[in-house]
């Protein structure tokens, strides 16, 4: 499943992501590396970004980039 399908408030583990070098670079800058645990805090209404918790930091991800992040339930 991708990050958009992750249940709100539950921890998930990043498995992989798809995309080119730009996507990979952006996600690594934010700390979304394979093996990292993240938690979806909230989904913004009307197609807005999603807020995720990465090591105690709240980060907003656009839905396009969040759809490229593959995760698994823990």
CATH no. for residue 43?
2.30.30.90
Q: How many independent structural domains does the chain possess?
A: 1
Q: What is the mean pLDDT of each run of 10 residues along the chain (74 residues)?
A: 92 92 89 92 93 93 93 93
Q: Which two tokens stand for residue 74?
A: 């823990």
Residues spanned by the domain of 63: 3-73
Predicted confidence at residue 6, as pLDDT, reads 93
Cα dihedral sign for 19, 22, 23, 27?
positive
Predicted confidence at residue 47, as pLDDT, reads 87
Predicted confidence at residue 20, as pLDDT, reads 86
Global pTM? 0.85
Predicted confidence at residue 72, as pLDDT, reads 95
């Amino acid at each position: 499943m991708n990050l958009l399908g992750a249940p709100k408030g539950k921890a998930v583990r990043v498995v992989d992501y798809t995309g080119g070098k730009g996507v990979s670079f952006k996600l690594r800058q934010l700390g979304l590396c394979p093996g990292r645990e993240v938690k979806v805090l909230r989904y913004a209404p009307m197609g807005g970004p999603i807020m995720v918790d990465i090591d105690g930091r709240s980060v907003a991800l656009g839905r396009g980039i969040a759809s490229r992040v593959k995760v698994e339930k823990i």
